[in-house]
Amino acid sequence: MTVRALCLAPGDDVAILLTAVAAGERVHLSGGDGHLMSRTEIPRNHKIALRDLPNGALVQRDGLIIGQSTEVIARGSHVHVHNLRSLRARPANEATK
C-alpha cells in the first residue's frame, strides 16, 4: 500500500500523513513525485519533517509558522508536542531566543 503525505504549501517544513507509517517506510508526497523515508513511527494525520531542522527552528505548515522546534529534528521524523512548541502565551523569559 502506498503511503501518502499531503504537502499543504510550498516551503513547508512538514507534511501531513494520510496513513500511519512505521519507521523506514517510503512516503510519497502529494503534488509531485517526491518521496522520503519515515525515520520513526507516525500516526495517521500527524506531521512528518520534510527536512532536517535545527533546535529552535521556526516550523512552517501550510505557509504559517506553527511553533518552534525544541530539539534537532531529522527529515522523516514525527513532528509533534515532544519536539515542537507554541510561540504563543509563553512568558517573556522563555520566549523565542
Partner 1 sequence: MIQATPIEESAIEFSGYANANGSVGVRTHLLILNLTGLTEMAARRASAVLPGSVLVSFPYGMGMVGDDLAASVRLLSGLARHPNAGAIVLVSADRTRLDQISAALADDGRPNQAFCLDAVGHDALALSHRIASAGARLMRVASASRRKPFASGSLCLGVECGLSDPTSGIAANRLIGAVTDRVLAAGGTVILGETLEWLGVEDELTVRAMKPEVAKAIKEAVTRREALALDNGVDLTGINPNRRNIEEGLSTIEEKASGAIAKSGTAPIEGVLAHGEAPSGPGLWLMDQPSYSPESLTGFAAAGAQLALFSTGSGNSYTSALMPTIKITANSETAQSLGTQIDFDCSALMSGADLNTAAAELMEHISSVASGMLTFGEILGEGAEVFSRFGEAL
Distance in angstroms (rounded) separating the CA atoms of residues 59 and 20: 21
Subset of 9-68 contacting partner 1 (CB under 8 A): 16, 18, 43-47, 61-62, 64-67
Q: Which one of 21-29, 33-41, 49-57, 89-97 is the stretch in contact with partner 1 (CB under 8 A)? A: 89-97
- Shortest distance, position 66 Cβ to partner 1, whole Å: 4
Grid coordinates 500523513 are at which residue? 17
Distance in angstroms (rounded) separating the CA atoms of residues 18 and 43: 9
Give the residue with the Cβ less far from partner 1, 36 or 69: 69
Measured in whole angstroms, the distance separating CA 25 from the mean position of its chain's CA atoms is 16
Distance in angstroms (rounded) separating the CA atoms of residues 14 and 44: 14
Q: Which residues bind partner 1 (CB under 8 A)?
A: 6, 8, 16, 18, 43-47, 61-62, 64-67, 79-81, 84-91
